[in-house]
Each structure stands twice: as structure tokens, then as C-alpha cells.
Structure 1
Amino acid sequence: MGKEEDLRRMFQELTGYEKKKIDLKMEGIPASPMQIVLAHEMREGVTYMRDYILDDEGDIIELDFQGVRTEENQKNEETQIPRKINKMSK
């Protein structure tokens, strides 16, 4: 299965949660299914972990995506060339 198909399925899944009135968040901030899918598509150096919040009966009431830096992501960042910012003088 390709990345595009994975993202499409994720969007459908999250839209289903939204229709069931389950709160969707990223890092504790409310987010739409499209915002979450786009973040996954554009992620650089971050993997997202799902945090399911349940009510007393064990039903999902909230789904929060938390960014997690993995060892592999940190190594990739360390090998990138640092960007220099030049300040313009007046």
C-alpha cells in the first residue's frame, strides 16, 4: 500500500471519528481530519503517536496525536547542513 492510499484511509478513519463526535487534537490543540493528515504527510523529523482518551465505559471520547522524536529522526536531523541566516544591515 502506498503513502497516498495510507493517508486517504487515515482521512476516512478520522472523518468517521469526527462524525461520532470524538474530539480530534494534535498536541492538545483541536484539529480537523485534514489538518492531521496534512501534518502526517509533511512531517519532518517527527513521528506521531496516538493517544486515545476513554470515558468511564471505555468508549473513545478524544484522539490526540502527539509528536515523538525517534532516534532515527534525530540522527537524520544531525546530518543535515545547518542553515545560516544572514542579517541585512541598514
Structure 2
Amino acid sequence: MPPVVPPFLIGLVAVPLAKRFLKPLVRGVITTSVGVVMDVKKAAHEAGENLNDLAAEVAADVMATQFASAESPLPAETESESRSPKIRATTSAAKGQ
């Protein structure tokens, strides 16, 4: 019959070995995880900046278009045409029922 080794002796031998080999492994995993998180954060920030730049360009284009249309001469309208109310077909159909 083989000699019986008490579990606490196995623990006394295994813990220092596990600590020696697992500590660098865990440190590497954490370092890699932090690096990935930082890269994702940077990419998200850049994407947000790109969206803000695009929104600013579109807003500038819209404003330029509105400014250009305000400067262009409009066809002459009579006063009665410009003040007449616009009636939608759906509104008049709803009132008739």
C-alpha cells in the first residue's frame, strides 16, 4: 500500500508553485485586458468625433443652402396668395365625416 500523504502537505508544496506560475499568467491576462479596453475606448472616442464632424458639416451645408435660397430672388407672389391658408386633403376629409 502506498504511503498516505496528508492533504495539507500537498497544499504546502502546491501553493508556492502555483503562486510562482499563476502570478505572471494572471498579470499578463490583466495587462492584455486593460490594453484591449483602452483601445476600444480610443476607437469609440474617435468614432464619436467623426460623427460630430459629420454633423457639423451637414449643419453647415444646410445653413449655406438656406442662406443661398434667402438671397436668391423669389418669384413674385401676390399678397392674397402668400396669406392664403394651406388646407390639407386629410384635414378636410376628417372634418366632413
TM-score, with normalisation over the residues of structure 1? 0.22
TM-score, with normalisation over the residues of structure 2? 0.21
Question: Which is greater in Rg?
Answer: 2
Instruction: Say which structure, 1 or 2, has more relative contact order (CA 8 Å, 6+ apart).
Output: 1
Larger relative helix fraction: 2
